[in-house]
Structure 1
């Protein structure tokens, strides 16, 4: 294989990796938003339904759980699929990103289990006289959502991925800055909710989440449309920053 052909294969592989990563990032939006705001709403808004009162939320919760299972796979995929690209610039950051995504996925899974248990106890009639159990399972879901997508998403996508992209130049620096700003804001707002400084779902928390939301969505769209930048920077052993061809 000639040198030219090898470079072409590297460019194609890098482009495919970027496209796959971008679509996985978009999938996290397509699955998480309807699961939280639509399919889980009947249970989150009416925890007393665990007693058997009101309409049956089984199908709605099951659909939400299915979407969030896909979400977990997509979350982990956004870190695993581009790992070989990211580790060229920082193996520690690449590993840290995978670990943070796994932790986030674990909390999402706990939230899924809490709402599926809610539905099971309603079906079995074991909570017919204990409506407080509904509040307990919904509270568990809310706290896992706060720590998983609320806290660790800020650490993973905002702080770790944002810094890695800014440092490597794989995406435009101005785009990566959104993550560097949004990540700490999401983490800070999550901590503020934990300490009851602000209310969960408040306007303040919504505003704090907006830069991270824009960063993640823009990052996914950019990778689908443009791919990773082929000229990026990586730190040299002496700490300087050296430009090189990312396809090599």
Structure 2
């Protein structure tokens, strides 16, 4: 019981860390994401580097949620629990690729600074290319893969009744909605950072924050107390 409670609290804290660092990273990245001439301009390198650090913590926390929850989830469905771990690892890997591309823009800008060379359209193109790669990782990682992972986790905790079913249903709805939104963005329906994109991301955000709070305050229902795991008593003989 003690180890289960500790693992649940750790997972809850890690979920909160993922939300905080994801928002911080996106906010700190704004100069490089929106200034097409950043690579040949004055730059805001310290801010962008802090964003990279925030996203690096995000990637570690993403993996941490899966590793922490796996022993508990595997008691109910080993295949889904393993799929969740693999999905979170993939999500962290995609996030890491995004970090590398953004920090590469900073490195190129710093190498150019002080050389006295004029702004080169080729460098600007390289900078735009690296930012475009980041934009795709931002769509695929914190949207598509996150949505699939939310569906896996929400399905498992819904069936096993490890958390209240209304909370699990929020995760199911959020996973479907964010995947649908990512598909719309992919085909040019609207921008990812827009009113529609933000609205589509709110349910999965609420699911993760709500799950984090529940795990920290109450933890999972222990396997032996889960309704699905209650032993059946044999009927008494007449």
Q: Normalising to structure 1: TM-score of the pair?
A: 0.86
The runs of 5 or more residues in structure 2 that have no matched partner are 232-238
Moved over 3 A (4+): none
1:203 pairs, out of 175, 195, 203, with 195
CA distance in 2, matches of 1:91, 1:113: 33
* Higher-strand-fraction structure: 1
2:192–2:198 contact (8 Å) kept in structure 1: no
Instruction: State yes or no: 1:16 paired with 2:15.
Output: no
Across the two proteins, how many residue pairs are aligned to each other?
223
Aligned to 2:147: 154
CA distance in 1, matches of 2:14, 2:46: 26
Instruction: State yes or no: 1:104 paired with 2:91.
Output: yes
1:173-212 paired onto structure 2 within 5 Å: 173-212=165-204
CA distance in 2, matches of 1:198, 1:243: 48
2:139–2:182 contact (8 Å) kept in structure 1: yes
Q: CA RMSD in A?
A: 1.5
CA distance in 2, matches of 1:193, 1:210: 16
CA distance in 2, matches of 1:227, 1:40: 34
1:124-143 paired onto structure 2 within 5 Å: 124-125=111-112, 128-130=119-121, 131-143=124-136
The runs of 5 or more residues in structure 1 that have no matched partner are 1-10, 235-241
1:121–1:127 contact (8 Å) kept in structure 2: no
Aligned to 1:237: none
Aligned to 2:160: 168
CA distance in 1, matches of 2:226, 2:17: 26
Aligned to 2:226: 232
CA distance in 1, matches of 2:230, 2:208: 25
Instruction: After TM superposition, give the deviation of residue 233 of structure 1 in Å.
Output: 4.1
Instruction: After TM superposition, give the deviation of residue 225 of structure 1 in Å.
Output: 0.8
Instruction: State yes or no: 1:35 paired with 2:25.
Output: yes
1:154–1:187 contact (8 Å) kept in structure 2: yes
2:99–2:134 contact (8 Å) kept in structure 1: yes
CA distance in 2, matches of 1:200, 1:172: 31
CA distance in 2, matches of 1:128, 1:171: 56
